[in-house]
Amino acid sequence: MAPTPDITLYFLGASRAIRIAWLLEELSLPYNLEVSPRASNGLASPEFKAKIPTLLGKSPAVKDGDIVVQESSAIAEYLCETYDTQGRVLPREPKARAKVREFMAAAEGTFMLHALPILYARWRLPKPAAEYLPEMEKGLSANVHNDLNWLEAELSDGKEGGGGETNKFLVGNTLSAADILMGFSIEFIFTRKLGTDGGNWPRVQRWLDGIRESESYKRAVEKTGYSL
Ligand SMILES: N[C@@H](CCC(=O)N[C@@H](CS)C(=O)NCC(=O)O)C(=O)O
């Protein structure tokens, strides 16, 4: 039997923490929210960071009884392994599980890894170097295009050649942790236009629109006030 949850989610506004609120809603788990808007510099305020019980002070972080977990993918795995006893969003069957975990890993380790340097360059490039920004973004966008092309192909039920209908979900016929983790990465990349110039990924857009229609996502948005 699953233990009784005693979960607090540390939720920074407009952040990856929406993944965890969504997952908690999807699993119908009760949780307390510690929400904070971003400070004027776009980061977490020192007061909010001080509340988060990790040395990194990043969001999301989750405290559940006597355990604290950070890193959205690790938090999602912890919650699924502890409370998703039916394997609904993280399947038990090894092949389906491997595919879900592949997308969970790629959400941070591939998509955010390639997109964030573009945002950081916009924020941090010193003024005298600003004229190089467009060229730099163009160079960095090659990886983002490659990643999105992969996702576009994964979402075709014909896979090869791009024909066929758009799959509703990344793995199988129901919402999984793959969709939840990847959803934020893609929304972030599309909304901030991080390396997307010159590309077109209609299946990815349709999939994103579709998963954002789920009731659990809407509840998470309403409770947290999330908006990018
Ligand atoms: N790889 C981490 C990234 C965590 C992270 O960088 N969170 C950002 C928000 S999306 C944050 O806390 N930024 C606030 C700050 O650094 O002050 C994860 O997947 O959870």
Q: Which tens digit of pLDDT belongs to each residue from 145-180?
A: 999 999 999 999 865 555 678 999 999 999 999 999
pLDDT band at 10 (very low <50, low <70, confident <90, very high): very high
The yes-or-no verdict on residue 109 having pLDDT over 80 is yes
Q: Which of 51-55, 120-124, 175-179, 213-217 has the lowest mean pLDDT?
A: 120-124
Q: Whose CA is nearest to atom 9 of ligand 1?
A: 15
Q: Which tens digit of pLDDT belongs to each residue from 11-22?
A: 999 999 999 999
| For residues 51-61, average pLDDT | 97
Mean pLDDT of the chain: 96
9, 22, 45, 59, best to mutate for ligand 1 pocket (most atoms within 8 Å of CB): 59
Which residues form the pocket of ligand 1, taking CB atoms under 6 Å from any ligand atom?
12, 15-16, 43-44, 58-60, 71-72, 108
Cα 200 to ligand 1 centre (Å): 28
- Is the Cβ–Cβ distance between 31 and 24 less than 8 Å? yes
Cα 186 to ligand 1 centre (Å): 16
Q: Rounded CA gap, 119 and 160, in Å? A: 32
Q: Rounded CA gap, 68 and 215, in Å? A: 27
- Is the Cβ–Cβ distance between 152 and 158 less than 8 Å? no
User: Can you give the residue ranges of every domain in the chain?
Assistant: 7-89+216-224, 94-214
CATH of domain 7-89+216-224: 3.40.30.10
CATH of domain 94-214: 1.20.1050.10
Cα 86 to ligand 1 centre (Å): 30
